[in-house]
Homo-oligomer: A and B are copies of this chain.
Amino acid sequence: MATGIDALDRKILRVLQHDATLGLDEIAAQVGSSKTPVWNRIRKLREAGVIERQVAILDPQKLDLASCFFVLIRTARHDAEWLAQFTAALKARPEIMEAHRLAGEIDYLLKVRVENAGAYDRFYRSLIEDVSIFSVTALLSMEEIVAKTALPIAEDG
């Protein structure tokens, strides 16, 4: 999987996933190299899809999206048709920031970001209307202790 990503690449990635506004000069200085090689590597990492995209991270509190729910779902059906429908329903809803298919007795886990409890209830009702679900448990986050986007990239490899 780690197709030809060396220690310098990893250093560059570690910098970029914490702050993508840094200039090439500064990145080069931080990783102990110079502009051109760093730029060529960033280019290749982008082309290879290692760097997927570059985005702004916003503060949910300041945008009236203070409530974060984790939703544990057990499904009623496991056939292909239902799966396609369910997957489409998840992707269509912007409140769903993450959706995972799990191993074990719980089938799916969602991370849902909404305005308040009322908005979550509306989301919940709308979801169970669209697709048949066996059981749903919602966990309400009271406090975000850690919220990173940076992957734990190892020093070497």
Residue positions of A touching B, CB distance < 8 A: 1-3, 5, 13, 16-21, 48-66, 68, 70, 87, 90-91, 94-104, 106, 108-110, 113-114, 139-154, 157
Contacts and interface: CB of A to CB of B under 8 A. Distances in A.
Nearest 3 interchain pairs by C-beta: A94-B152, A99-B146, A100-B141
Chain copies in the assembled complex: 2
B113 A152 contact: yes
B55 A57 contact: yes
B146 A97 contact: yes
Specify which of A19, A55, A62, A96 lies most central, judged by the most chain B CB atoms within 10 Å of its CB: A55
Contacts of A99: 144-146
A98 B148 contact: yes
Contacts of A65: 151-153
A141 B102 contact: yes
A1 B146 contact: no
Given A52-B58, A70-B100, A98-B144, 13 more contacts: A17-B56, A48-B62, A51-B58, A54-B56, A55-B55, A65-B152, A70-B109, A87-B145, A97-B152, A100-B142, A109-B141, A113-B152, A149-B149
